[in-house]
Amino acid sequence: MRRFATLVGLALRELWLSYRLMTILAALVAAALPVALLPQLPALTLAGAPLERPACFAAGLAGALALVAGIAAGTLSGERGRGTLAWLAVRAVPRTTVLLAWFGAFALVLALGLAASVALAASSLDDAQVASRPTALIAVSGAVGAAGLAATASGLLVGTLLRPIAAVLVTLVLVGGTLLVAALGPPGWSPLPAAGLAVLAGFGDAARPIADAARASGTALAVAAGLLLLASARLERIDL
């Protein structure tokens, strides 16, 4: 456990010094800015329907989470290429431990950024939507966070497969597309691991937001675990 904590600290410092940590936090906070700062959103429509504030926030978060996943992919792929992963592996650090340490570091940054983003956005959403249902907002935020973890795990898996630039691009397209469909797609279309974004997008009208968020969270966490298992299996097999 002490080794794991050491590696998480190392990963956080690497993210901080390479400005990736600030980029992630900025992207997550920026997702809330249009909702928080503009008294009236531009008259955006989607499939003929006006885009509500929660849906706009969800779309912003989808982009930010895709960026997190892309950075995760580039990071792990870069660690392989630069030899830092090999440096750790020859010190008998299991490759899976390194993978989980990076996942842990991204999860911490994601939690921090998402909390700030939701707090900022919540201040501008209708009182009726938020003040009367704070528990629901927390549950939905958790579901979005879980979707972010699944996205990060996807990025790490792609990072074990491709070189850095290709890994980032592939992740941005695949994960970004999935999350945007969840945030802006028709009801019922959202892929379940990303359904937290759909619940957030329809937050104003949701009849059972807590139940929907719990189901989305569970699925996203299960998918994240599955993807991490695949990434671990792949990482154990590749040459460093």
Partner 1 sequence: MRPAAVEVHGLRRSEGRRRLLDGLELRVSVGARLLLVSRPEESVSILLRVLAGLVRPSAGTVLLAGLSRADDSAAGWARRVTYLAPGAGIYSWLSPNEALDLAGRLAGYDRAERRRRIEAATEHFRLGSGVDRPISRGGAALGQKTSLAAAMLTEPEVLLLDEPLRSVEPLERARLLRLLGARTTILLASRLPASDAGLMNQVALLRDGRLALHAPVADLERAGLPPSMRGIEALADLRAAGLPAAAPG
Q: Name the site residues for partner 1 (rule: CB under 8 A).
A: 2-3, 6, 10, 13-14, 17, 82-84, 86-94, 237, 239-240
193: which 2 tokens?
């691991």
The residues, any chain, with a CB within 8 Å of residue 97's CB and separated by 6 or more, are 3, 4, 7
Nearer to partner 1 by C-beta: 65 or 101? 101
Nearer to partner 1 by C-beta: 104 or 218? 104
Nearer to partner 1 by C-beta: 71 or 194? 71
User: What is the nearest approach in angstroms of partner 1 to the Cβ of residue 18?
Assistant: 9
Q: Tell me the C-alpha distance between 96 and 229, whole Å.
A: 9
User: What is the nearest approach in angstroms of partner 1 to the Cβ of residue 86?
Assistant: 5
The residue written with tokens 């998918």 in the block is 223
User: What is the nearest approach in angstroms of partner 1 to the Cβ of residue 218?
Assistant: 32
Nearer to partner 1 by C-beta: 215 or 234? 234
User: What is the nearest approach in angstroms of partner 1 to the Cβ of residue 10?
Assistant: 7
Write down how long the chain is: 240
Nearer to partner 1 by C-beta: 102 or 203? 102
User: What is the nearest approach in angstroms of partner 1 to the Cβ of residue 50?
Assistant: 48
Opening angle at CA 67, ends 218 and 130, nearest 5: 55
The one-letter amino acid at 212:
D
The one-letter amino acid at 147:
A
User: Which of 34, 26, 97 has its CA nearest to residue 68?
Assistant: 26
User: What is the nearest approach in angstroms of partner 1 to the Cβ of residue 165?
Assistant: 20
**CB contact at 8 A, 73 and 168:** yes
Nearer to partner 1 by C-beta: 161 or 240? 240
**CB contact at 8 A, 24 and 109:** yes
Q: Is the dihedral of CA 80, 84, 86, 92 positive or negative?
A: negative
